[in-house]
Amino acid sequence: MNLLIHDLKEFNQDILIKSSQNDTVIIAGNGKIHPCICCFGCWIKTPGQCIIKDGYDNLGLLHARCSRLIIISQCFYGSYSPFVHNVLDRSIPYLLPYFSTKNGETHHKFRYDNKIVLKVHFYGNISDKEKETAGKLVRANGVNHHAQETEVYFYDKVKDIQGVV
């Protein structure tokens, strides 16, 4: 399954999704997403599921089912847009509360066995320094999201983003 998270105001499916396979789940903003409040409810109350019932409480499960995680986001200071960031923040039920050590750093253990390809398409007026930061961010996110490979693309304009799936 492909999981596509985007913050586009106008989503043109014909341009963005070229794959003939009908297996893409799309996460978009509805203006109602609540920020993660770091309550650990997804670990110690309803393991694997967020306790904030706003329609974005199943993100851990969607991450578990996907093999390709595709993100389209405006770039702010080398990070994602607040909405896309919020979706990723709310995805921690995908992980376990337990820690493991990788390359000398602690990270959360994985609840699921799936491995993903993480592709991030950043758009906007992005400086070279911000591009460098964004590349580091996506690679770090890849480590924490069990990504086998990560790819980062930059676009000046939204209309240049095509066929991401």
Partner 1 sequence: MKISIINGSQKPSGSNTGIILSTLNNLLGKDNDIDNYTLGVKQFSAEIYNKIVLSDVIVFAFPLYTDSIPSNMLKMLIESESFFGREKAKETVVYAIINNGYYEGKQTHIAFEIIQNWCDRSGVHFGGGLGQGAGEMIGATQKTPLNKGPFNNLWRALKLLAEKIEAKEPFGIKYLSPYFPRFLWKIMAHNTFRHPLASKNKLTKKDIVSKIM
**Residues engaged in binding partner 1 (CB under 8 A):** 34-40, 43-45, 47-49, 60-61, 64-65, 76-80, 82-83, 85-86, 88-89, 96-99, 101, 105-107, 111-112, 127, 129-130, 132-133, 136-137, 140-141, 144
Choice between 4 and 42, CB closer to partner 1: 42
* CB 9 within 8 Å of CB 72: no
What are the φ/ψ torsions at residue 127 (nearest 5 degrees)? -75, 165
Choice between 136 and 159, CB closer to partner 1: 136
Choice between 60 and 152, CB closer to partner 1: 60
**What is the nearest approach in angstroms of partner 1 to the Cβ of residue 20?**
26
Cα 133 to Cα 156: distance, rounded to the nearest angstrom: 17
Cα 29 to Cα 8: distance, rounded to the nearest angstrom: 9
| Closest of 19, 10, 52 to residue 33, by C-alpha | 52
| Closest of 2, 21, 6 to residue 87, by C-alpha | 6
**What is the nearest approach in angstroms of partner 1 to the Cβ of residue 19?**
23
Residue type for 135, please? G
**What is the nearest approach in angstroms of partner 1 to the Cβ of residue 13?**
26
Choice between 133 and 155, CB closer to partner 1: 133
* CB 88 within 8 Å of CB 82: no
**What is the nearest approach in angstroms of partner 1 to the Cβ of residue 14?**
30
Choice between 80 and 123, CB closer to partner 1: 80
CA distances from 120 to 42, 132, 165 (A): 26, 14, 11
**What is the nearest approach in angstroms of partner 1 to the Cβ of residue 4?**
18
